[in-house]
Structures are given as structure tokens and as C-alpha cells.
Amino acid sequence: MSTYAFTRAVTIFAVGFLLLNAVLLMMIDRIVWAAVFAVVALLAVIGWFWFRRAMAELVDARKEMKREVESLRDLLHTHRKE
């Protein structure tokens, strides 16, 4: 299972659980707590999108660093041969 699929599954489970709590609290007239759970569910979704973007930026930075290392390695090998 990839990291993307795993984090998506965990996020869906967490959001579902939080929204279920919100609905059940609404049914017993605990409006404030239901709103708190709904907001936390929204924050979990926003956090997941933020996490995905941060991981994509790390992957891009890693690829860039790999290109730089390869170019430095090539440069060192050309100077060694001379």
C-alpha cells in the first residue's frame, strides 16, 4: 500500500468517525460539541491536503538534490581523469 493510499484511508476513517460523532451529538441536542467535531473533521481534511503538498515538495527537492549530486560527481570524475 502506498503512502498516498494509506494516508487517504486513515483520513477518510478519521473524518467519518468525527462526522458520525457530530451527527450523534446533534441528535441529543449537543449542538456546540457537534460543531466542534465537524470543525475538527474539516481541519483533518485540510491537514491531509497540506501533508500531500508538503510530501510532493519534498519529492521534488529530493530529485533536484539528486541531479546536483550527479552533476558534482560527473565534474569530479572529469577532473580526476586529467
Q: Which residue has the higher pLDDT, 79 or 55?
A: 55
Model confidence pLDDT, tens digit, residues 21-73: 999 999 999 999 999 999 999 999 999 999 999 999 999 999 999 999 999 98
The answer to whether the CB of 51 falls within 8 A of the CB of 7 is yes
3-state secondary structure of 4: helix
Q: 57-79 as b/e, with b when 16 or more CB fall inside 10 Å?
A: eeeeeeeeeeeeeeeeeeeeeee
All three cell numbers of 57, joined, read 515538495
Residue 18 class from Cβ within 10 Å (0-12 exposed, 13-18 middle, 19+ buried)? buried
- Rounded to 5 degrees, φ, ψ at 37 are -65, -40
